[in-house]
Structure 1
Amino acid sequence: MNARKVNCIALGLVLGLASSRAHAQYPGQTKEQTAVAVKAPIKAYSFNLSDVRMLSSPFKDNMDREGKWLLSLPTERLLHSFRVNAGLLTDKKTSPTKMPKPLGGWEGLDMELRGHSIGHILSGLAFQYASTGNAAFKLKSDSLVAGLAAVQKSLSEGGYLSAYPQNYIDRNIAGTSVWAPWYTQHKIFAGLTDAYWQTGNQQALEVEKGMAAWAYQKLAPLSPEQLAKMLRNEFGGMNDAFYNLYSITGDPQHLKLAEMFYHKAVLEPLEQGQDKLDKMHANTVIPKLVGEARAYELTADPKAQTAATFFWDDVVKNHTYAHGGNSDKEHFFQPGKISEHLTGNTGETCNTYNMLKLTRHLFTWNPDAKYADYYEQALYNHILGQQDPKTGMVSYFSPMLPGAYRLYSTPDQSFWCCVGSGFESHSKYGEAIYYHGDKDLYVNLFIPSELNWTERGVKVLQTTRYPEEATTRLTIETKKPLAMPLHLRYPAWASNGVTLKVNGKAVAVKQQPGSYITLNRTWKSGDKVELTYPMALRVVATPDNPKKAAFAYGPIILAGEMGTAGLTGTAPYHDPADPYQYYGYDYHVPADLVHTLRTNTGTVTDWLKPVTGQPLTFQTTAVTAAAGITLVPYYKAHRERYVVYWDLQ
């Protein structure tokens, strides 16, 4: 029995430990849905998505496009592979002409990962419902949950539920070849949890508890050696899923299930402050740490806190590209060796989705501005830019190879993992704009939105065109004067200082970039705060080679526009027979493509000049070719070749 198990038993974790703060890290989980109190000290709390309404912005545009995609996917097609697995579509009464068309790509009936997308979709629908209040999202979610419940009942395998037969799990346990069946299970568990938390669907919880009962009967008899063999394969965030379920039910079996997915070989080095990530599959590792973060919150295990904190610090410092993403060909590499991994297979979007999950946990333990700074970096430059604004389709990688370009999914024939995480990412932009303490409020992101903090009777309206302008405006609305410390993030990139006004009067700021400006006052309805962070150009060099660098303006990474010569159509690397064909995708970068700048004299403001009348747009003055190159925000570099990292001469 490991130390965490002993700890938990000694603490007497049972039903009835509900706390008003027990659900702080998972917005949407109400007090009534909470059976186990958070035991770790929490300093900042999340708002529920329903407390924040997104206003007009590129984020809102992405969210709306994603919502339309979610609603457009027919329920019958999403459930098809599950019903096939349960034998529900094989009787003579089913006319072939009435059979729904199977989904393609990674959801094809011949794909071992089939079924993972429905979990992401349940989460995405739940987030859209909470974010917008649009009942269409709940209605679709409810229909999917009901369909899954019918499949589970028909299978009659002790609560087992999947789009593939149970022998996939048996193969995983035996250590024989199979893709990642527990990864798929995780997505379904997580989707059902979100449906329960965000939409109040009790059936979702009952289905999930049935799945957990099956999992416990499956895994409880296994020896430590058998479990260790099973955990060698990718299992997503099964530990996180079971910790979340345990927080809802208080069932000791759910806690034991979470502990069964403690991957000693990966986590122990991190607990000891060791980076042994080289060659590890990044998106196999990151969710384990999200689960460890949840373990810390529910058990107060200090080793889990150490592992999660060290991992985050290490990855952000040593494995992260300028846009906030990480990995090459989905794998970590030697610490700091960014310049050696500027390929066409960099920045798997799922990794960033999971790093942002981890970031939110860490911020609630320690509301340090560095977590909010990273969140902004990754959200604006990677997540926002994943979605093609023309079609709403999304990319898998964000290639850092000079002259490469984004490759997009299709509406119903791709369903890569990054399509699934994209259903979530673009549906929950309101999750990290604001946090709160018992009385104080944090403003972490400068995104047009309206916060309704009902417990304190205050609303905050945030209006801005940031990052296309440097100023953000906050308007306070309250029925009576309210004492509320207001913490405004002072970004680390804001080297040109800050201008702060309250009700039109300048306020002196003593804090430095990379911290919070705190306004400790009693607010009246109609009070206004105006916050301006002048942006500046900066060089973002790779850690291992100062002569390979990206450029940023304020928080925004810039990309050089390189035209469309030789671009192919949508999702050119998708081959149903070879789901990993993109590893060998040839971008056919023109031999004469320029990605070198003469920088031996002057500074970055000499090498790049702003284009009049075009926000966040610059022109090079120091390229080796005769003509200048236009640089735009990386999140806007769609359907064209680009350069993010330049060779500096």
Structure 2
Amino acid sequence: MTRSKLNIISTSGLSRGILTFSLVSQSVLGLAQYPGLAANKMKVPVSVPVKAKSFDLQAVRITHGLFRDNMEREGKWLLSLPVERLMHSFRVNAGMNTPKPGSPTKMPKPLGGWEGLDMELRGHSIGHLLSGLALQYASTNNEAFREKGDSLITALADVQRELNQDGYLSAYPQHYIDRNIAGTAVWAPWYTLHKLFAGLTDQYTYAGNQQALDIATKMAAWASHKLSPLTTEQRQKMLRNEFGGMNDAFFNLYALTGNPDHLKLAQFFYHKAALEPLENGQDNLNKAHANTFIPKLVGEARDYELTGNEKAKTAALFFWNTVVQHHTYAHGGNSDKEHFFEPDKIAKHLTGNTGETCNTYNMLKLTRHLFTWSADETYADYYEQALYNHILGQQDPESGMVCYFTPMKAGAYRLYSTPDQSFWCCVGSGFESQSKYGEAIYYHDDKGIYVNLFIPSELNWREKGLTLVQETAYPEETTTRFTVQTKAPILMPMYLRYPGWAKAGVTLKVNGKVIAVKQSPGSYITVDRTWKTGDKIELTYPMTLRLVPANDDPNVAAVAYGPVVLAGELGTANLKGTAPFHDPADPYQYYGYDYTIPDSIGHTIDTGGKPVTDWVKPVAGLPLTFRTTAGLSKQPVELRPYYNLHRQRYVVYWDLK
């Protein structure tokens, strides 16, 4: 998240037009729904060919394990935040929380950090929270999440009615939008509204709240009226400021309503200066604010799906390949101080401000879209890399709080949010990321199931009358077991992901019998047979140690074991506070955070030119725990999964001699 003064993209020329688009054909070549969206709620289906389709989130249950633990901690946080405090800034903006002096009415305590009444970004967190509650409800069927979402929606409807501004709804005055249109300084008002639109549509989609959709459509009517008079020059000037995924939000609203005005609004948020170079295969990311860019491409992907816009598809594919191949750290994250840098310069950007978590949250959104188009295992590989190493590792298991950055600087450590005084962008996206782990484990085509992730879970494919139960302690073990439950025998294929990192091969058993595998890593193993209740699949991918070198220096590298990036434990000496960003005058004080790394901490290993298996050895009896044997201050260093190394200093990238 960046202040508006950090605008770095200029605009010029014409773009796709200003609210003048006609409705596109709604012919259906595939029934893939937007990830998690119930197909029966869509009035505009996908109009392009797809190879994999998303299951509704309600069809998948995480049963136990690391991801379930994170979900439960996040859910407790979501439920702990009082509605009165969450709504305070909205009600103040509408003049509803201003009792006269001496009044017995007690004011709720305002939220702090980026939700403070003196912060221009206030209101963004409630949108994320609405999404998080809806995702938790879909993932768990716990009525507490639906009920809290309903309470917030009712309160927001009251504010919208009290404001009485043609459907406008926010925690800040409409003047912020006027400043954005005029090109004067303001901190990302459309970004904040994007979160609210997304939260409202998620409440409708996942929790069935019709009032949420009504609020969103009224807001869209206001937006259409507000933006229609703008000239091309005014529009592009406005779009220089960070607007999140407003294009994505309006495309999704259009899919739900079929209202052509919502399609026009989505296309209105086409930022020519950012997107046109990507359509032409040009990497224009150097120095660009990363999370200003990524949501725009999520919207482009949605544009392609709903309208068949080939330029949008080209931009989304080129962007994804560019970011993943040239701008991504070993743990799947990207950016330094929130910005992309020159491609293939990872080793030069191992700082304390790397890996903004929002970026990865949005990259995974984009990845899901791209996977459905092609069912290419490459996308599943990246999804696993970023999910296990970055998103899973965002949350502190002790407190349930989350990180903004995940530092790659040797000797640094994670800094966590607070329950009610931080509310950074990554807190908001964390409400969602930690609540929807079931969304990318399984996909399907018209015939069978894709198994992409190895997470203890149950899939209920109601249309086929089939349940698939997955049991595993992955990645602490290499074997995953599946049990089929079906009302009647069913002929269908199972597409089992064969990860690109699994160079040591695979063992596949069906009902105890070893099945020969002809496929190679980076593909899918197809098991096509008639399945009966009780049939079992056992899938084993031996994990091996490997190096993940920086793309600009092979002597700077992370160590991974199978899909898991390992971090070296460097102790707790001189650890300072864990919650920056509290000063309203300087919410970005993280940029100058002093990790006071002791001089005694080293991150150089004399490998003698030997392979990693010679100088990193497993510790007997401790899963996913290793120890260096090569020289590092004459002391061995213990390595554990990066996702599980909290509240201490660490090293991810080593200098190898």
Match of 1:152 in 2: 160
User: CA 1:60/1:10 → structure 2, altered by over 3 Å: closer, same or farther?
Assistant: closer
Q: Is the Cα–Cα contact under 8 Å of residues 403 and 589 in structure 1 kept in the other structure?
A: yes
User: How far, CA to CA, are the matches of 2:503 and 2:354 in structure 1?
Assistant: 29
User: How far, CA to CA, are the matches of 1:4 and 1:538 in structure 2?
Assistant: 50
Report the Cα offset of residue 3 of structure 1: 6.3
Of residues 601, 611, 621, the one that matches 1:603 is 611
Counterpart residue identity of residue 195, structure 2: K
Match of 1:120 in 2: 128
Match of 1:543 in 2: 551
Q: Deviation string for 1:582-607 (max 9, x for gaps)?
A: 00101011112110001233210011
User: How far, CA to CA, are the matches of 1:296 and 1:209 in structure 2?
Assistant: 22
SS at match of 2:226: helix
1:44 paired with 2:34, answer: no
Q: Deviation string for 1:597-627 (max 9, x for gaps)?
A: 0123321001101000001111001133111
Q: 5+ residue gaps in structure 1?
A: none
Of residues 592, 600, 614, the one that matches 1:584 is 592
Residue pairs, 1:343-382, within 5 angstroms: 343-382=351-390
Q: 5+ residue gaps in structure 2?
A: 1-13
Q: Deviation string for 1:454-512 (max 9, x for gaps)?
A: 01110000000000000000000001111111000000000100000000000000100
Q: Is the Cα–Cα contact under 8 Å of residues 204 and 212 in structure 2 kept in the other structure?
A: yes
Residue pairs, 1:225-264, within 5 angstroms: 225-264=233-272
Counterpart residue identity of residue 468, structure 2: V
1:187 paired with 2:195, answer: yes
User: How far, CA to CA, are the matches of 1:261 and 1:97 in structure 2?
Assistant: 42
Q: Is the Cα–Cα contact under 8 Å of residues 327 and 346 in structure 1 kept in the other structure?
A: yes
Residue pairs, 1:74-85, within 5 angstroms: 74-85=82-93
Residue pairs, 1:160-559, within 5 angstroms: 160-559=168-567
User: How far, CA to CA, are the matches of 1:333 and 1:59 in structure 2?
Assistant: 32
User: How far, CA to CA, are the matches of 1:611 and 1:96 in structure 2?
Assistant: 64
Report the Cα offset of residue 10 of structure 1: 6.8
User: How far, CA to CA, are the matches of 2:113 and 2:31 in structure 1?
Assistant: 39
What TM-score comes out, normalization by structure 1 length?
Answer: 0.97
User: How far, CA to CA, are the matches of 1:94 and 1:388 in structure 2?
Assistant: 43
Match of 2:38 in 1: 29
Counterpart residue identity of residue 587, structure 1: Y
1:9 paired with 2:22, answer: yes
User: How far, CA to CA, are the matches of 1:49 and 1:623 in structure 2?
Assistant: 48
Q: Is the Cα–Cα contact under 8 Å of residues 486 and 519 in structure 1 kept in the other structure?
A: yes
SS at match of 2:577: coil
Q: Is the Cα–Cα contact under 8 Å of residues 236 and 288 in structure 1 kept in the other structure?
A: yes
Q: Is the Cα–Cα contact under 8 Å of residues 25 and 364 in structure 1 kept in the other structure?
A: no
Q: Deviation string for 1:564-598 (max 9, x for gaps)?
A: 00111331453232110000101011112110001
Report the Cα offset of residue 447 of structure 1: 0.2
User: CA 1:559/1:251 → structure 2, altered by over 3 Å: closer, same or farther?
Assistant: same
User: CA 1:94/1:193 → structure 2, altered by over 3 Å: closer, same or farther?
Assistant: farther
Match of 2:569 in 1: 561
User: CA 1:4/1:89 → structure 2, altered by over 3 Å: closer, same or farther?
Assistant: closer
Q: Which runs of 4+ in 1 moved over 3 A?
A: 1-8, 10-13, 19-23, 91-97
Q: Is the Cα–Cα contact under 8 Å of residues 22 and 36 in structure 1 kept in the other structure?
A: no
What TM-score comes out, normalization by structure 2 length?
Answer: 0.96
User: How far, CA to CA, are the matches of 2:39 and 2:103 in structure 1?
Assistant: 44
Counterpart residue identity of residue 278, structure 1: N
User: CA 1:37/1:7 → structure 2, altered by over 3 Å: closer, same or farther?
Assistant: farther
Report the Cα offset of residue 4 of structure 1: 8.9
User: How far, CA to CA, are the matches of 1:323 and 1:228 in structure 2?
Assistant: 35
SS at match of 1:92: coil
User: CA 1:167/1:6 → structure 2, altered by over 3 Å: closer, same or farther?
Assistant: closer
User: How far, CA to CA, are the matches of 1:478 and 1:419 in structure 2?
Assistant: 40
User: How far, CA to CA, are the matches of 1:210 and 1:139 in structure 2?
Assistant: 23
User: How far, CA to CA, are the matches of 1:158 and 1:634 in structure 2?
Assistant: 49
User: How far, CA to CA, are the matches of 1:357 and 1:96 in structure 2?
Assistant: 47
Of residues 608, 625, 647, the one that matches 1:617 is 625
Counterpart residue identity of residue 582, structure 2: H
User: CA 1:4/1:454 → structure 2, altered by over 3 Å: closer, same or farther?
Assistant: farther
User: CA 1:405/1:420 → structure 2, altered by over 3 Å: closer, same or farther?
Assistant: same
User: CA 1:179/1:129 → structure 2, altered by over 3 Å: closer, same or farther?
Assistant: same
Of the structure 1 ranges 258-267 and 615-624, higher mean CA displacement relative to structure 2 is found in: 615-624
Report the Cα offset of residue 24 of structure 1: 1.4
SS at match of 1:109: coil
Report the Cα offset of residue 94 of structure 1: 8.8
Q: Is the Cα–Cα contact under 8 Å of residues 52 and 450 in structure 1 kept in the other structure?
A: yes
Q: Deviation string for 1:527-580 (max 9, x for gaps)?
A: 000000000000000010001000000000000000000111331453232110
User: CA 1:254/1:11 → structure 2, altered by over 3 Å: closer, same or farther?
Assistant: closer
Q: Is the Cα–Cα contact under 8 Å of residues 389 and 642 in structure 2 kept in the other structure?
A: yes
User: CA 1:547/1:159 → structure 2, altered by over 3 Å: closer, same or farther?
Assistant: same
Q: Is the Cα–Cα contact under 8 Å of residues 134 and 149 in structure 2 kept in the other structure?
A: yes
Report the Cα offset of residue 442 of structure 1: 0.2
User: How far, CA to CA, are the matches of 2:151 and 2:19 in structure 1?
Assistant: 41
Report the Cα offset of residue 9 of structure 1: 2.9
User: How far, CA to CA, are the matches of 1:254 and 1:571 in structure 2?
Assistant: 40
User: How far, CA to CA, are the matches of 1:215 and 1:344 in structure 2?
Assistant: 39
User: CA 1:484/1:476 → structure 2, altered by over 3 Å: closer, same or farther?
Assistant: same
Report the Cα offset of residue 417 of structure 1: 0.2
User: How far, CA to CA, are the matches of 1:266 and 1:584 in structure 2?
Assistant: 29
User: How far, CA to CA, are the matches of 1:44 and 1:574 in structure 2?
Assistant: 44
Q: Is the Cα–Cα contact under 8 Å of residues 7 and 299 in structure 1 kept in the other structure?
A: no
Q: Is the Cα–Cα contact under 8 Å of residues 460 and 477 in structure 1 kept in the other structure?
A: yes
Q: Is the Cα–Cα contact under 8 Å of residues 153 and 212 in structure 2 kept in the other structure?
A: yes
Q: Is the Cα–Cα contact under 8 Å of residues 8 and 299 in structure 1 kept in the other structure?
A: no
SS at match of 1:484: strand
Report the Cα offset of residue 97 of structure 1: 5.8
User: How far, CA to CA, are the matches of 1:165 and 1:7 in structure 2?
Assistant: 28
Report the Cα offset of residue 644 of structure 1: 0.1
SS at match of 1:225: helix
User: How far, CA to CA, are the matches of 2:17 and 2:47 in structure 1?
Assistant: 13
Q: Is the Cα–Cα contact under 8 Å of residues 574 and 582 in structure 1 kept in the other structure?
A: no
User: CA 1:332/1:74 → structure 2, altered by over 3 Å: closer, same or farther?
Assistant: same
User: CA 1:177/1:96 → structure 2, altered by over 3 Å: closer, same or farther?
Assistant: farther
Match of 2:110 in 1: 102
1:87 paired with 2:95, answer: yes
Q: Is the Cα–Cα contact under 8 Å of residues 561 and 642 in structure 1 kept in the other structure?
A: yes
User: How far, CA to CA, are the matches of 1:442 and 1:146 in structure 2?
Assistant: 39
Q: Is the Cα–Cα contact under 8 Å of residues 598 and 623 in structure 1 kept in the other structure?
A: yes
Aligned residues: 644
User: CA 1:631/1:94 → structure 2, altered by over 3 Å: closer, same or farther?
Assistant: farther
Q: Is the Cα–Cα contact under 8 Å of residues 16 and 267 in structure 2 kept in the other structure?
A: no
User: How far, CA to CA, are the matches of 1:574 and 1:505 in structure 2?
Assistant: 59
Q: Deviation string for 1:208-250 (max 9, x for gaps)?
A: 0010011011101000000000000000000000000111111
RMSD of equivalent CA atoms: 1.6
Percent identical pairs in the alignment equals 69
